[in-house]
Amino acid sequence: MEFSLHELIWAIINFLVFLGLMSFLFYKPVLKMLDDRKNAIEGGLARAEAAQREADDLRRQYQAQIGQARTEAQDIVATANRAAQSAKEQITNEAREEAERLIQRAQESIRVEKEQAIAALRQEVASLAVMAAGKVLEKTLTMEEHGELARRFVQEAGEVQ
């Protein structure tokens, strides 16, 4: 195989024409397509970074809102506990006051009944004393004498107490 200069020059010219055609037909469109793809990828990355920053901001906002909600919930629980404690104390105080009023009424009722019982007992004792005195004296007393004797006995019995 021999190489001739003429064939070598035609081969170089063919190669350069082929290279020019390839460059014009394929290289520039391929480079443009690659640049477009590169720009699309960079834009997608920029949008992804922006979306990531926005997601981080939203996450921080949500965490702040959750923290605030927890604080508010704790405040509500504390307020409810204070209200319950206050209601408990109020109910306890009202029950204690009612019990004291009932005790006072019962003591007053006992005192009145005791005085009535003592008065009835005095009357009964006076009547028995008058009857006993009448039997001892063996005479019948008149109603006026009987009343006078009973009054004196009650007075003397009341002074002894």
pLDDT in single tens digits along all 161 residues of the chain: 577 888 889 989 999 998 888 887 887 788 889 999 999 999 999 999 999 999 999 999 999 999 999 999 999 999 999 999 999 999 999 999 999 999 999 999 999 998 898 888 878 877 777 777 666 665 566 777 777 777 777 777 665 45
Please give the residue range of the domain that contains residue 67. Answer: 46-160
**Is residue 106 assigned to a domain?**
yes
Question: Would residue 29 count as lying in a domain?
Answer: no
CA distances from 78 to 70, 90, 139 (A): 12, 18, 88
3 state SS of 140: coil
Number of compact structural domains in the chain? 1
Alpha helices in the chain (DSSP H): 5-22, 28-137, 143-160
Q: Is the model's pTM score more than 0.75?
A: no
